[in-house]
Structure 1
Amino acid sequence: MDLSIIIVNYQTYDLTKQTIESVINKEHPFTYEIYLVDDASQDGSLEKLQQDFKEENADGLIKFIASPENKGFAHANNLALKQTKARYVLLLNSDTVIFNDCLAKCLKFIEEDESIGALGCKVLLADGNLDKACRRSFPTFSVSAYRMLGLSHFFPKSKRFGKYNLTYLDKNQTYEVDCLTGAFMLVRSKAIHSVGLLDEEFFMYGEDVDWCYRIKADGWKIVYYAGAEVVHYKGGSKKRPEKSKLTHEFYRAMYLFYNKHYKDTYPWIITGITYSGIGVMYGLKYLKNFLER
Structure 2
Amino acid sequence: MKQLRTYVITVNYHGSADTANCLASLERSTVPVKTVVVDNTPDDPALEKALSPFENIKLIRAPENLGFGRGNNLGIDWALQQPDCEYILILNNDATIKADAIKRMEAAMDTHPEAAIVTARIVLAEDESKLWYGGGEVDWRRGGSQVPGVLGPAAAPLAMQSRHVSFASGCAMLVRREVLERYGGFDERYFMYEEDLELGLRLTNEGWKIWYEPSAIIVHKGQGSLRREQGSRFIGAWMPDNPNLSFYAYHIMKNRLLTMKQYMKGKDRIRFYVYFPLFLLAKLFRFALHRRWRAIQAMYDGWRAYRDEIRKAMP
TM range (shorter): 0.7 to 0.9
Distance 1:92 1:267, change over 3 A: closer
Q: Does 1:199 align with 2:199?
A: no
Q: Does 1:40 align with 2:41?
A: yes
Partner of 1:6: 9
Distance 1:290 1:223, change over 3 A: same
Residue 82 of structure 1 aligns to a residue in which SS? helix
Please give the alpha-carbon distance, in whole angstroms, between the structure 1 residues aligned to 2:62 and 2:179. 25
Please give the alpha-carbon distance, in whole angstroms, between the structure 2 residues aligned to 1:3 and 1:173. 24
Please give the alpha-carbon distance, in whole angstroms, between the structure 1 residues aligned to 2:277 and 2:10. 36
Q: Offset at 1:235?
A: 0.6
- Unmatched 5+ residue regions in structure 2? 150-155, 229-242, 296-315
Distance 1:123 1:201, change over 3 A: same
Please give the alpha-carbon distance, in whole angstroms, between the structure 2 residues aligned to 1:3 and 1:207. 21
| Larger RCO (alpha carbons 8 Å, 6+ apart) | 1
Give the % identical residues.
25
Distance 1:269 1:131, change over 3 A: closer
Partner of 1:253: 255
Alignment of structure 1 residues 202-217 onto 2, 5 Å:
202-217=190-205
Distance 1:47 1:73, change over 3 A: same
Residue 185 of structure 2 aligns to a residue in which SS? coil
Residue 146 of structure 2 aligns to a residue in which SS? coil
Partner of 1:129: 130
Partner of 1:29: 31
Distance 1:71 1:27, change over 3 A: closer
Please give the alpha-carbon distance, in whole angstroms, between the structure 2 residues aligned to 1:173 and 1:196. 30
Q: Does 1:94 align with 2:93?
A: yes
- Unmatched 5+ residue regions in structure 1? 148-162
Q: Contact 2:29 / 2:101 at 8 angstroms: preserved in 1?
A: no
Partner of 2:146: 164
Residue 19 of structure 1 aligns to a residue in which SS? helix
Residue 227 of structure 1 aligns to a residue in which SS? strand
Q: Contact 1:120 / 1:225 at 8 angstroms: preserved in 2?
A: yes
Higher strand share: 2
Q: Contact 2:164 / 2:211 at 8 angstroms: preserved in 1?
A: yes
* CA RMSD after TM alignment: 3.1
Residue 139 of structure 2 aligns to a residue in which SS? coil
Distance 1:47 1:289, change over 3 A: farther
Q: Offset at 1:228?
A: 1.5
Please give the alpha-carbon distance, in whole angstroms, between the structure 2 residues aligned to 1:268 and 1:220. 22
Q: Offset at 1:2?
A: 0.8
Q: Offset at 1:171?
A: 0.8
Deviates more, 1:109-118 or 1:276-285: 276-285
Please give the alpha-carbon distance, in whole angstroms, between the structure 1 residues aligned to 2:34 and 2:184. 21
Partner of 1:276: 277
Distance 1:99 1:289, change over 3 A: farther
Please give the alpha-carbon distance, in whole angstroms, between the structure 2 residues aligned to 1:221 and 1:46. 36
Partner of 2:169: 181
Residue 28 of structure 1 aligns to a residue in which SS? coil
Please give the alpha-carbon distance, in whole angstroms, between the structure 2 residues aligned to 1:136 and 1:36. 27
Distance 1:232 1:267, change over 3 A: closer
Please give the alpha-carbon distance, in whole angstroms, between the structure 2 residues aligned to 1:75 and 1:224. 25
